[in-house]
Structures are given as structure tokens and as C-alpha cells.
Structure 1
Amino acid sequence: MRIAFISDIHGNATALEAVLADIKEKQIDQIVVLGDIAYRGPEPKHSIKLVQDLDATVIKGNADEWIVRGVQQGEVPDQALELMNQEREWAVSQLDQAEIDYLSNLPSDLSFIKEGVTIHGFHATPSSLFDVVLPSASDAEITDKLTKDTEADIYLYGHIHQAYIRPVDGKTIVNLGSVGLPFDGVTKASYAAIEINKNTVSASIERVDYDIEKTIQAYKDNNYPNIDMMEQILRTGKNG
């Protein structure tokens, strides 16, 4: 059994298509989506459609919540609030109400068992769509924020756009990175794969090349309100 976990697509449909093609080529059995589907990318509508067409379990991320109700003060730096709401308004203008309702009604976390292995997935933390747990977090912080409330063998999350795999107290912690907007300096789409085979379990981070120039051109063609910053992130794989 192989399961692909993807998240933080951020409206980058070109990157998502490349990831889905990679998943198909590797004959992965199941797909799980851990949120942030549409906001901050040039193709929010197409990205939602691609996710809806999957036979996948999907949960909500903070950016999905932002599409629904806007970015609120205290959730981002004050100097970024106005611009990020402009981006949100642009994204909403590309969607119909049914798509916004779809994002609104997504659950916030998931747990399931496959072949005796318990998996817990969420976007940022089990209790928040917004909290940040970085790869440099201490074992105590990871335990407190990610694992203490639900017993599982593997915990997976997105949100920080920095992929890593780390054992903590006998548990495996996996951050998926980002399909559409990586921040870890690798300019490729990222997702995680979990393989369960009888008595063995393995986790890997998969990196997929995609056509960055096509995505940048889509920002320009669609008159996105923050093109320069988004182009810089895509070209460097870093946020600032």
C-alpha cells in the first residue's frame, strides 16, 4: 500500500498536474490532500477542479479559510494584510459560490488506519490552521503541538512549505513541503509518500519538476495583483 500526501497547492495547477502525473507513474494507491488548494496562485478554479476530480480525502488549510472569509488582522504581518486581501479578492473573483462552499465545508483533520498503521493528518497543527511548527522545533514542541492529543504512528502536515521527515519519541513526523509554492530553496513541487508493506513502513519526500515559466506566465496573463513577489518565490524556492 502506497499513499501520497499532497498540500499547499496554492492555485499552481501546472505544479499539481505534474505531481498527479508522478503519482500515477509510481502507481501510488491513494491520495490525501492536506489543504491550501487555491489561494495565492494564478489558477484557483482549475486547481480546485483537479482536486475535486480525485478519489481523495481532502481537508482544509488556512488559505482555504482565507478564501472563505478573508485574511484577518493578526494572521499575517500588518504591512502584508491589505495586499493579501487584494490577492484573496482576486481569487474569489475567479471562483463561483459552489467552489467557495466546497472549501468552507472541508474538515480540519483526518485519522485512519492502513494495515495496522495509524496515520493522523492535519494542515498546521491538530488544533489550528495557522500555528507554525518548523523543522527546527524541539522534540518537546513537536510533541506538545503535533502529537499529544491523538495517538498515531505517523503524523503528517503542510503549512510551512518546508519538507522534512523526523522521528520523535517513536513516532514519525512528516512535513509534505509544498506542491505549488516551496519555501525550502528547492524549486520543485514536493509531496510525501508513505509505503506500508507487511511489517515495514517507510516515508519519503518526492520532488517533481514542473514548468515554472508556464506558472509565471499564468500570473501575468490573469493580471494577478502580486506578480513580482510570486515570481521571485517560484524562481528561488524561498519566501523573502
Structure 2
Amino acid sequence: MKILFISDLHGSYDRAKTVLDKAKKFNPDCIVLLGDLLYHGPRNPLPVGHDPKATVVLLNEYKDKIIAVRGNCDAEVDQMVLEFPIMSDFSWLVADGRRIFLTHGHLWNPENMPPLSAGDTFVYGHVHRPKAYTNENGINIWNPGSCSLPKQSDCPTYATYENNTFRVFELDDTCILEQTL
């Protein structure tokens, strides 16, 4: 199974378009959106290419492939314009026999985990920093980072899953930042 992971778009049409253009080449079975799709939040600056209305149109083009969860900046008014569900705090996905728990990260996070077993995978966004590791309980922890508002000195990122491998890429595809098998 091939999955494209995107988190924390915060209404950046430019960055959403860049990642979704990559989706055309990667041809994922599904696109996972880990929340904070349209609003930039009161603590964040406006992201590059901020245009929530255009971002809505672009995301709706992929509605048949999207699995999305609600971020702390997502609201019911966002659901009114998006043609795929975004209001769930979490979702499950099974890929290649792997149970994958999807969430934004403001409710469930590595410090407040849902009930998972060794070998399961926990995928979240929220912190705008890419991660890929296995914790002391044998649970895989993945975060694609943010393609619109990366934190600290991180660059814009997105992630893929293919052949049981999770990879975080710089938006310009110059290098793989994180990888786990």
C-alpha cells in the first residue's frame, strides 16, 4: 500500500499544491491529512501562499483518496466547505498488516498514547517537526512534519509510506530526513 502523509497545511495553497503535485507522481492509495488544514491559528504567522478558499478547492479534488482527522485549528465551518470528513479526532488504517492510528497530536500524542500494542504505528502532526522512531514499548512513532509552517530550523516536509517503509522528505525532495522500516 502507498500512503502520502500531509500535516499542518494551515491554508497554504502553494504548499498544498506542491505536495499534491507529488501525489500525482507517487500515485498513493490514500492521502492522510493529519489536521490543521485551513486556519493558521492565532500563534502562527500566515504561511507562504495562504489562501484557504483555493486550498479547499484543491483538497476537494482528492476527496476520494483522503482520510483526514481534526486538528486543533479545524472547525465545523471548515467541514461545511470540505467534501470529505475532517471532524474525527482519530482514525485507524491497516496497511500491509500494520495497524496505524492517525491523529493530529493535540489530544493523543507520544506522551499521552491511546491503547496500542507492540508493532502498531502511531502517526500524528501538530508539533510541525518530523519524527520516525520506535518507542520503548515497540510502537512506531511517525510524524511527517509540516509542509507550510515548519518549526525551529526544520524545512517544509511531507512523508510517504511504501513497502513497509515510512520516509519524510524535504518539500523540494533534496533529501530524506527521517526513515524507518
Same fold at TM > 0.5: yes
| Structure 2 CA distance for aligned equivalents of residues 182 and 105 of structure 1 | 22
CA gap of 1:155–1:104, structure 2 versus 1, over 3 A, is closer
Structure 2 residue runs of 5 or longer lacking an equivalent are: 41-45, 174-181
Report the aligned-residue RMSD: 2.6
1:154 to 121, 145, 151: 121
| Structure 2 CA distance for aligned equivalents of residues 202 and 32 of structure 1 | 16
- Where do residues 89-168 of structure 1 align in structure 2 (5 Å cutoff)? 98-99=80-81, 106-125=87-106, 128=107, 142=110, 144-146=111-113, 148-151=114-117, 153-168=120-135
Q: 1:18-41, CA deviations, whole angstroms, 9 ceiling, x for partnerless residues?
A: 111122223333211111011124
Q: Does the CA-based 8 Å contact 1:163-1:184 persist in structure 2?
A: no
Q: Does the CA-based 8 Å contact 2:3-2:29 persist in structure 1?
A: yes
Q: Hey, what does 2:71 align to over in structure 1?
A: 61
Q: 1:106-127, CA deviations, whole angstroms, 9 ceiling, x for partnerless residues?
A: 21110121231111110015xx
Look at both structures and tell me which one has the larger radius of gyration over its CA atoms.
1
User: Per the alignment, in what secondary structure is the counterpart of residue 170 of structure 2?
Assistant: strand
Give the number of the structure whose residues are more often helix, by fraction: 1
Q: Does the CA-based 8 Å contact 1:121-1:157 persist in structure 2?
A: yes
Q: 1:72-93, CA deviations, whole angstroms, 9 ceiling, x for partnerless residues?
A: xxxxxxxxxxxxxxxxxxxxxx
TM-score (norm 2): 0.77
2:170 to 174, 196, 207: 207
Q: Hey, what does 2:153 align to over in structure 1?
A: 185
TM-score (norm 1): 0.59
Give the aligned residue type for 2:168.
Answer: I
Give the aligned residue type for 2:60.
Answer: Q
Give the number of the structure whose residues are more often strand, by fraction: 2
Structure 1 residue runs of 5 or longer lacking an equivalent are: 69-94, 134-141, 211-240
1:45 to 31, 40, 53: 53
| Structure 2 CA distance for aligned equivalents of residues 184 and 194 of structure 1 | 25
Give the aligned residue type for 2:71.
Answer: G
